[in-house]
Chain A
Amino acid sequence: MLFMKTSCFLGFLLLGYLFVPVSYGQEPAVDANFLYKANDSTVVTVHLLKDTAGVPACYAAHLITGVCADGLCRPVDIHIYWDLLGQFQDYKMSRGHPITKFDHQPLTTDDHIKLRRLLADTSSLLRDYAVADMIDTTLKVRSGVLDAVTGATNPTFASITVEGAMYTVYTLWHFVNGTVRQQIRRYTEARLTDALIIAMLRSDRLDYQQFVYERLTNEQHRQFAPIILTLIGSNDPYIPHFAIDQLTPELLADSVLQMRAVGFIETAATPVQNSLLSKFRNLPLHDKSMELLLKAVPSFSAGQLTNVFAVLEGNIPSIKGRALHTLIELSQHKGKPYSQYMAKLIQRIPKVNSVN
């Protein structure tokens, strides 16, 4: 997360104060822009910004447009930033051009916090209602600076707008969440280099990782498996599970990769432990992996042991060496819910495995 945020933040500095929407990386991306036609009267250039290593980091555009239908707020002049998949990230006002609301009042700090949150909500009601339907025409608000009245926001929509800035919020939402999202995704997909794949996998963002997973070839799967494996240790509740899902039997046949995967099992969160156990069921375990799994047995709850036993059942003939010693130790743990099973399991292991 820090990786991406830092990159875009540096980009904001460039765009916000120099008004030079170009890459600030070591290798300027001369081709890194495309046109976004938001509507008949709004066409902007979207720039791909790269980090210092020249890896795509985010997108930005400079928007100057009128945003209200009643003339009671000023046009906006802002720089807008999206992530690599077209999700709104942030905006920055051009110097001397604050975003205003009703009666030309600048948005407050709280208004800006709310506006950023609203623009980031892709499933907002702003997507699904015409702006006219969000205005309660039975309530009028009189302007203090112009001889005019405007409609009040219908109470239903109060939570999805900044008070006094419905048209502004609506216009900006549709700008940042328009077809530019698909354009950005396509643009990123066309630039999915090894460096970008690694950056996205390491981003700690599930959507970035899923974007990559869906596009990896079999060869790339093998190539990036070591990085994917590290994601099992993520603290995010879902990232480990989607990483585990990427571990095919072919990848787990590799003793090193398998051992690294099993290595997470003792300290992982319970649902991750369960997903790993489910993955290992019917999988031939290498000696070291078996040893790691057995060492982790005391960390499992009674409910999880059924799934541990299922993994062991499929590997009885191959339990030997240090794993077998660990198994014997477990069978001698007094009063534990697994010791009796382990003792019985030992009886089913071929005697030849006991040699050495």
Chain B
Amino acid sequence: MKNNRRKFLKHVGLGSGLLVTNPGFAFTSGEVDLQDIKRNADVFAKRLLKTDILIAGGGMSGVCAALAAARNGAKVILIQNRSRLGGNASSEIRMHISGASTLQQVWRETGILEELVLTEAVTNPQVCYEMFDYVLYDKVHSEKNITLLLDTMLFDVESQDDQIQLIRAYCSQTEELYEISASYFADCTGDATLAALAGAEFMRGREAKSQWNESLGQDQADEVNMGSSLMFQARKHDRPMPFVAPSWARKYTFKDFMHRRIDAYDYGYWWLELGGKVDIVKDILNDGQRLRDELMAVMFGVWDYIKNSGDHPDSANWSLSWFGMIPGKRESRRIVGDYIMIQRDIQSPQPFEDRVAYGGWPLDDHLPDGMDDTSKKPNTAIRLKGPYSIPLRSLHSKSFSNLFMAGRNVSVSHVALSSTRVMATCATMGQAIGTAMAYCISAGIGPASLSGDKSHMQRLQQQLLRQDQAILDVVNTDEKDLARKASVRASAETAEGKAAYIIDGYNRLVADGKTHHWQAEMTGEPWIELHWDTEQTLGTIECTFDTGLHRYLRISPSQAVLDMNQVRGPQPETVSGYTITVQRDGQTVHEEYIDGNYLRKRVHTFSPVTCDTVRISVRQTHGDQLARIFEIRCYS
């Protein structure tokens, strides 16, 4: 199929032969220069681009990878084949960003994802899905080191030995052809398109139990995927809204919903899904057009049942207000990395030395039949006892030394994928590889040298932790953090929230019975102070606040989900107004007033000053009666 595809692309004039070989550009910082156009007499404009990191795929993992890499100094080109970022989470598909919150413990993911969902919750109280797209666009567009190419489809990859050299992509909207060379490539396509085009080893289908001793595996390996879903939204009106089903809609009756609950009409339903068999019938990839058509027949058939069967008379005033046309995929290809995560890694968490992210979604395997067989339950979800670590070795390719991956296409078994595939987990993988790629460039080492070297990994983990990526059982041991060497005192503290916790190395709850943050009653302006016996030079102060990680926080078209223990807006525990006062011998040498904060992690950078004391005074929270700060870091 790959050959056929390339032949097709060459036939229509998109093959590599059309591109002019031309050295790339010399980049220093900022976006890639798009000015140099080679006009093509055959209509298309050709651009030869060079960057540090090429990221294919603008879903949650690709967005987080791009932001992480760019913020760590790398120049990034992010190509996305849609006109919106977010992938399955975008307004085009509208799946929930699910993750470890489902453990109902304390494990909502932090880092860039937390920044995104907090920003979205505050920016978008109206719960408009296009505004979610906007938040992602704004974050990416505002990052000077990222060049965002929307509507841009990857179609070709060139490699030499174990190095990917360049990719080619096409934007139909602008009639541009891109040839992009990079030091590192990240496959965040979900389908592992980049890896497959490069010829990297990948897996598909479901493995046999015997392959990795997985009790949840199949008796015999097969070539079947978890299904894809189409979603819809509906709105209630003040008068009856009739619906006439198209002739191609499937027909359903009461008994088809024995295992599938229709408990609301405003958003439905994750079980509107059909599976796929690899390269046979309804292949999610190569026969996706048919799969989409059949999913449309399923979705409209279910809505016809709701509206016209008589079983749901209270649906009379409801009408469809939106429906998806792009199936939200759960599974396609999985790239083989240096480590393949399996069932045991999910159920019995391993303390991988190269752990860089975590997951917590159940082992949630969806049966391939989906709505083709409603007599069966649509999925089997086996809940986990706690979060599990994800090693970096599962996030870089075994076949190519400059290929990373994040998302559902990482190096996991089918069984493990049933947990790792959800978008909050994918997003944290994205931050991990974005940071890792920047680290590799900076350190001049390859992925295997990074994930296989304990000291490098410790540095990477500390870098990730500082940037608020949570990694299980990794605490702040950053030698450069001057706060760790300070003495701490506060105007007040609670029995559970001692002032000393602010430098105990933890920046979040970890379900060990301790709060790991300073708490003080909001009477007056409680403050906490770091003091050094000797003068320090400070240019950066970082604060980590409480954003209620024990709750859900995610946009949803479902009112029931929005009402499910989440706060749409600033989180009440978060410090909104605070003052940073830096002093030397009792004299203020630097001061900042911050109002309207809603983020968990805030970094304050200023011209370095000599000082011996840093005080954070809390003026206001978003409603909580306690001032809460998890961590303060100080750097020169």
Contact = CB atoms under 8 A, between A and B. Distances in A.
Given A156-B386, A238-B258, A242-B255, A128 B363 contact: yes
Contacts of A335: none
Interface string B362-381: 01000000000001000010
A301 B313 contact: yes
Interface stretch (A32-40, A87-95, A267-275): A267-275
B83 to A, nearest CB: 41
B216 interface: yes
Contacts of A248: none
Nearest to B307: A303
Contact of A303 (B254, B313, B348, B385): B313
A270 B311 CA distance: 7
B472 to A, nearest CB: 15
B386 A274 contact: no
A303 B313 CA distance: 6
A128 B254 contact: no
A110 interface: no
Given A128-B216, A270-B310, A154 B258 contact: no
A304 interface: yes
A277 interface: yes
A130 B348 contact: yes
A224 interface: no
B383 A125 contact: yes
Given A133-B348, A241-B253, A274-B254, A125 B313 contact: no
Interface residues of A, number: 28
Interface string A196-239: 00000000000000100000000000000000000000000010
A270 B312 CA distance: 10
B386 A271 contact: no
Question: Chain B at the A interface: mostly helix, strand, loop or mixed?
Answer: loop
A274 B385 contact: no
A128 B255 contact: no
B344 to A, nearest CB: 8
Interface string A105-129: 0000000000000000001010011
Contact of A271 (B254, B347, B383, B384): B254
A238 B258 CA distance: 8
A187 interface: no
A242 B256 CA distance: 10
Contacts of B348: 130, 133
A277 B382 CA distance: 39
Most buried by A among B255, B310, B316, B386: B310
Contacts of B258: 238
Nearest to B309: A274
A171 interface: no
A238 B347 CA distance: 36
Contacts of A274: 253-254, 309-311
A36 B384 CA distance: 31
A156 B385 contact: yes
Nearest to B316: A303
A307 interface: yes
A241 B384 CA distance: 36
Interface in B376-412: 380, 382-386
A274 B375 CA distance: 19
B128 to A, nearest CB: 32
Contacts, number: 61
Given A125-B382, A128-B363, A245-B255, A277 B310 contact: yes
Contacts of B383: 125, 156
Given A128-B215, A128-B216, A270-B310, A241 B254 contact: yes
Nearest to B258: A238
A156 B347 CA distance: 12
Interface in A256-298: 270-275, 277-278
A255 interface: no
Given A241-B254, A242-B255, A245-B255, A128 B347 contact: yes
Nearest to A273: B310
Contact of A275 (B215, B216, B253, B316): B253
Contacts of B309: 274, 278, 307
A128 B382 contact: yes
A306 B308 contact: yes
A340 to B, nearest CB: 17
Contacts of A278: 253, 309
A275 B386 contact: no
Interface string A122-154: 010100111001000000000000000000001
Interface in B224-282: 253-255, 258
A8 to B, nearest CB: 26
Contacts of A238: 254-255, 258
Contacts of A123: 380
Q: Sort A-B residue pairs by CB-CB distance and give the 5 closest, nearest first.
A: A156-B385, A241-B255, A274-B310, A304-B310, A271-B254
22 contacts: A130-B348, A133-B347, A156-B386, A157-B385, A238-B255, A238-B258, A241-B253, A241-B255, A242-B255, A270-B313, A271-B254, A271-B311, A273-B310, A274-B310, A277-B310, A278-B309, A303-B313, A303-B316, A304-B310, A306-B308, A307-B309, A307-B310
